[in-house]
């Protein structure tokens, strides 16, 4: 699905760069990708920073022009991207992934990937959408405030490998797969492209729904819905075709919209 590709050793944010290019009027085909070896001002959801130190992670963004898709449905591209990242990681490295609703990709219940979708609305449609994906690949450690909930592909591969071979020396094991940011970037956008095409036919998440819910980490677990007006607990059942999390509270099913609230497991991050 990548139509044009721009790589920077260092940039503020790959999402910012695509936005600058589109706003300056450069003609960019749908599927143009900007990737970087390091972001100096990587951005996460809810105004958080996203750490992307030099050459240890994937920072990549794609521009889309889904002109026919009504504005309220654009957010559905984010769970689609989460499925694409999961499939790419599983396909390349054989690691099992989970998804924390709505769109964090996890390995061993720790976050390995975050997704930030941004758009410019016009009336009831969009002028463009930028899907930005950050994957932790070679990190060995994380800042203390996120260390308990973050992992990288290298760390995950090492732990799988050491469980498999029950090592006594604790050293780096033979057969450990090396991870490669470029092949991962390629695989992510290839998977994303296939799901994006299907999405354009239905405007809903039906094509990825089973693959998403199979990986949903909170499934059948107690979650706390952090609704600022009325926080409550319930059991997460699944995501629906509109991207809402279905949460059972006693006999009632509540449909939780990711734009309005976030969800926490009662025992921590997931
Ligand atoms: C999150 O908070 O989980 C979302 C993180 C998204 C990070 C990616 S890295 C590539 C793109 N450029 C950015 O500045 N952010 C996104």
CATH of the domain at 250: 2.30.30.100
Query: Looking at ligand 1, which residue's alpha carbon is closest to its atom 2?
Result: 44
What's residue 226's pLDDT?
87
Does residue 40's CB lie within 6 angstroms of at least one atom of ligand 1? Answer: no
What tens digit of pLDDT does each residue of 130-183 get?
999 999 999 999 999 999 999 999 999 999 877 765 444 443 333 334 457 999
Judgement on whether residues 240 and 174 belong to the same structural domain of the protein: no
Does any domain span residue 199?
A: yes
What tens digit of pLDDT does each residue of 84-99 get?
999 999 999 999 999 9
What's residue 132's pLDDT?
98
Judgement on whether residues 171 and 259 belong to the same structural domain of the protein: no
CA of 39 to the centre of ligand 1 (A): 10
Does residue 114's CB lie within 6 angstroms of at least one atom of ligand 1? Answer: yes
Judgement on whether residues 180 and 250 belong to the same structural domain of the protein: no
Does residue 63's CB lie within 6 angstroms of at least one atom of ligand 1? Answer: no
What's residue 173's pLDDT?
38
What's residue 171's pLDDT?
38
C-alpha to C-alpha distance for 30 and 22, rounded to whole angstroms? 11
Residue that finishes a domain, picked among 215, 236, 251: 215
Judgement on whether residues 135 and 249 belong to the same structural domain of the protein: no
Query: pLDDT tier at 228 (50, 70, 90 boundaries)?
Result: confident
Domain limits at 112?
A: 4-215
Does any domain span residue 270?
A: no
Judgement on whether residues 136 and 239 belong to the same structural domain of the protein: no
Pocket test for ligand 1, best of 33, 58, 134, 139 (most atoms within 8 A of CB): 134
Judgement on whether residues 241 and 164 belong to the same structural domain of the protein: no
Does any domain span residue 189?
A: yes
CATH of residue 176's domain is 3.30.930.10
Query: pLDDT tier at 111 (50, 70, 90 boundaries)?
Result: very high
Pocket test for ligand 1, best of 58, 133, 135, 188 (most atoms within 8 A of CB): 133
Does residue 11's CB lie within 6 angstroms of at least one atom of ligand 1? Answer: no
Does pTM top 0.95 for this prediction? no
What's residue 174's pLDDT?
34
Does any domain span residue 42?
A: yes
Total count of domains within the chain: 2
Does residue 37's CB lie within 6 angstroms of at least one atom of ligand 1? Answer: no
Does residue 45's CB lie within 6 angstroms of at least one atom of ligand 1? Answer: yes
């Amino acid at each position: 699905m990548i139509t044009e590709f721009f790589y920077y050793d260092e940039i503020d944010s790959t999402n910012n760069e695509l936005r600058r290019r589109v706003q300056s009027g450069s003609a960019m085909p749908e599927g143009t990708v900007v990737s970087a070896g390091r972001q100096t001002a990587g951005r996460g959801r809810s105004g958080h920073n996203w750490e992307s130190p030099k050459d240890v992670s994937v920072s990549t963004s794609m521009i889309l022009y889904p002109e026919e898709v009504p504005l309220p449905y654009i957010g559905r591209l984010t769970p689609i991207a989460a499925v694409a990242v999961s499939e790419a990681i599983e396909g390349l490295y054989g690691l099992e992934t989970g998804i924390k609703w709505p769109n964090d990709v996890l390995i061993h219940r720790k976050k390995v990937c975050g997704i930030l979708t941004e758009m410019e609305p016009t009336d009831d449609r969009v002028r463009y959408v930028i899907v930005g994906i950050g994957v932790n690949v070679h990190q060995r450690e994380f800042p203390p405030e996120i260390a308990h909930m973050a992992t990288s592909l290298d760390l995950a591969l090492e732990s799988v490998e050491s469980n498999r071979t029950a090592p006594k020396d604790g050293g780096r094991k033979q057969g450990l797969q090396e991870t490669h940011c470029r092949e991962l970037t390629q695989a992510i956008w290839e998977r994303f492209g296939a799901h994006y095409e299907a999405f354009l036919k239905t405007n809903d998440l039906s094509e990825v729904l089973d693959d998403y819910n199979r990986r949903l980490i909170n499934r059948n677990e107690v979650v706390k819905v952090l609704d600022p007006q009325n926080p409550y607990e319930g059991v997460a059942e699944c995501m629906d075709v509109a991207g809402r999390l279905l949460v059972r509270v006693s006999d009632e099913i509540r449909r939780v919209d990711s734009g309005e609230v976030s969800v926490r497991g009662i025992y921590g991050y997931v």
